[in-house]
Amino acid sequence: MTTTNLIEFDETNQTFHLHNASISYLIGLDKGGFVSHLYFGRRIQHYHGQLKNPRRDRGFSDNLPGSKDRAFSLDFLLQEYSSKGDGDFRSSAAIIRQTDGTRSAFFTYDHYVIEWGKPKLAGLPAAYVEDPAEAQTLSLFLTDQPSGLTVILKYTIYRDRNVIARSTELVNQGKTTVAIEKLASMQLDLPAQSKQVISLPGAHVNERHLERAEINFGRKIFESRRGTTSHQMNNFIAVCDPDTNEFQGEVYGFNLVYSGNHQEEIEKDQFGALRILAGINPDQFDWELKPTARFQTPEVLLSYSATGLNGLSATLHALLRERVARSKFKAQPRPILVNNWEATFWNFNEPKLREIVDDAKNLGLEMFVLDDGWFGHRDKDDSSLGDWHVSEKKFPQGLAHFSKYVHQQGLQFGLWVEPEMISLDSDLYRQHPDYMLRVPGREPSVSREQFVLDLGRKAVRENVHQQLKAILDHCQIEYIKWDMNRHITDVYSAALPAHRQGEVLHRYVLGLYQLLEELTTEYPDILWEGCSGGGGRFDTGLMYYMPQSWVSDNTDAIARLQIQTGTSLAYPLSSMESHVSVSPNQQTGRMASFETRGHVAMSGVLGYELDLTKMTPTEKAIVKKQIALYKEIRMTVQYGQFIRLVHTNNRYAWMFVNSDKTDVVVFSFKILSEAQPDFKILKLAGLAPERLYRNATTNEVMGGDELMLTGFYEENQAEDFSSAIYHLVAVD
């Protein structure tokens, strides 16, 4: 075991240097005890401490209280963490309402602690280590003397990953109660330079498009105010140089490990410097902190790549797969499933499902997933959420009996649940109307005829827990799809006094994490999958409990090209559940071939979501082949390196390479056919240049360097929505 330090404090220069073989992060202690940011980027081997934050007397930038030094101002110091009222007029990381109603705080350096490993974050998901020697953690303690508040800035650097995990904790060591109005998880101030930002905005059935924009003067905000991560704006952003592309250039990634309201801010200040903040959204947030109490923010995974966006994705994919997901399935082949949702919606009975199961068995599928509609008297979306007992009408002999049938056919059995919700037409509501989030004296807003449970309350969680336990203990179930189909509007908890209603949304997320922690610990043999009306809660926080998620309710292969490309920027392919559905597609009406639908769905965790019993013999033969092929390439797709080769308006190409570079899968897609297409060369990447690769279909052999440098001409297919697969195997 190597124990070379990853973090050093230089007494002479008063700097902390966090480093591994590839990256360096430098923090300085500046005048008055302010903690300044010096550098984050490629590894510096020989740091001599010459870099200091510059001084200048700048008009309207105030100086420290009582100081005559007009050249030192927090208004332009690159800080590690800022607070309202400290003379830094940029967006603040912390806004604390003091007992006297003011929002002033000056957090200055007190001491530091360096330890091996990575301490857990109380009640929150976070990246972890399996061995303390994998990482080292620096905690910087900053205090605001008059109030007795301490901010702890935590930085964990991994030895073998280009990642620094950051979070902040606030401890009230004073004598009076304060309120947190904002506490960002991290701040990164970068010196003046031209940068661009990439975000992942979207909508329901249209999630996570890659959007790239200039960072101009002023503030840019990416956020969710919907109570959950949201389809509308994912909690991941990247900041890169204008000339960074998929293969070259610098890029920083900011991945907030959280599943509720979030905010990522970028401010370009008056002198062109950049401030990046990420954390819980201050909107509707207000947290009472009594003396001795502590508040831990969610974590941000701050990543760095000097090799473009693909380099950043490779770092994040490995980190999320290996050190965020905790499931025993995190490195196992994920089952190829069939889900009955788009085949039947709520309209099914056991004989109909048995027909699908029989076909699934014949086609080589591995799991049958029973979606919405199996419980209470739910024949549409207006009832029964909260009543997690099987519908006797649909399963006269019970769910365990049906599950047994599925297993007898050699398939595993998965089940859909939506445990965070309540229908007005439910026994749960009739018995416990106060379990629902609603504002007293107002009609709650309706969405899909359902309402949200107050998961911040223990009694509510326990009720849901017991109901789920009864099913899981009674029935053989290998997979749970955990859905959440509305956003949170009526933010009021019957369990909290008026002045603490600003805690409701964060307490909801903490309650959800608590419930998931209990259930996933109790049932470690279940493969848990996240879902929120498709990909509305596709985030790193949920990945800690559930290693995969339903990417989108949009199953149109062509629409999925954009959605899966965007998702892949931050999230591993093993987490992206992707299904072949019927053509014309139910969401877009678009028609695409089985091949194209298969190739898109195979570029993730493959499943099927259509009525298998309605397929023609020809279609069944195609599906059988797809499943057989996917079983061959599955480990490379799910756990290999993923590379975005091309994504333009009309063309996409994705590639997967296993860890020893012996198995390579490339999918290429053309959207619209062209009358006079140019000759398209496809150049691969990430291969072993000295090796030879054989095309598994044509047997043609090419060199690794040849495939990467000359590439090969792709055949033109004279049809819309066409696709091709190239499976290359190293010749030994």
Binding site for ligand DGJ (CB under 6 A): 341, 371-372, 416, 483, 485, 531, 533-534, 550, 553
CA atoms within 13 A on the CB side of 287: 25
Burial class (CB in 10 A: 0-12, 13-18, 19+), 678: exposed
CB of 412 to ligand DGJ, least distance (A): 18
Q: Least distance to ligand DGJ from the beta carbon of 342, Å?
A: 8
73 and 55 in contact (C-beta within 8 Å)? no
Q: Is the Cβ of residue 276 or residue 367 nearer to ligand DGJ in the bound state?
A: 367
Closer CB to ligand DGJ, 73 or 384, in the complex: 384
Owner of token pair 């326990």: 462
C-alpha distance from residue 572 to each of 99, 126, 560, 603 (Å): 45, 16, 16, 11
DSSP-derived pairing of the beta strands 35-42 and 23-29 = antiparallel
User: Side-chain half-sphere of 205: how many Cα atoms within 13 Å?
Assistant: 10
Based on the residue annotation, tell me whether 553 is a catalytic residue of this protein: yes
Q: Cβ closer to ligand DGJ: 483 or 663? A: 483
Q: To 5 degrees, how large is the angle CA 629–CA 630–CA 632? A: 65
Nearer to ligand DGJ (CB atom), residue 348 or residue 416: 416
Residue 346 CB, shortest distance to ligand DGJ, in Å, is 8
From the CB of 604, what's the least distance to ligand DGJ, in Å?
15
Asked if 124 contacts 298 with a C-beta cutoff of 8 angstroms, the reply is: yes
- Looking up tokens 């080589």, which residue turns up? 364
Question: In the complex with ligand DGJ, which residue's Cβ is closer, 136 or 552?
Answer: 552
Question: What sign results for the dihedral spanned by CA atoms 121, 127, 128, 133?
Answer: negative
CB of 433 to ligand DGJ, least distance (A): 23
DSSP letter, residue 467: H
Using the minimum distance from each CB to ligand DGJ, give the nearer residue, 137 or 232.
232
Q: Which residue is nearest to ligand DGJ (CB)?
A: 372
Beta-carbon contacts of residue 90 (< 8 Å; ≥ 6 apart): 75, 82, 267, 269, 275
How many CA atoms, within 13 angstroms, populate the side-chain half-sphere of residue 264? 24
In the residue annotation, 381 being an active-site residue is answered as no
> Residue 390 has which token pair?
């099987």
Contact yes or no for 490/438 (Cβ under 8 A): yes
Shorter beta-carbon distance to ligand DGJ: residue 253 or 373: 373
Q: Three-state SS for 192?
A: coil
CB of 533 to ligand DGJ, least distance (A): 5
The Cα–Cα gap between 408 and 410 comes to: 5
| Cα(413)–Cα(361) distance, integer angstroms | 12
> Please, what is the minimum distance in Å from the beta carbon of residue 459 to ligand DGJ?
26
Check residue 356 and report its DSSP letter. Answer: H
Given 359, 371, 483, 556, which residue is catalytic?
483
Could you list the active site residues?
Answer: 483, 553
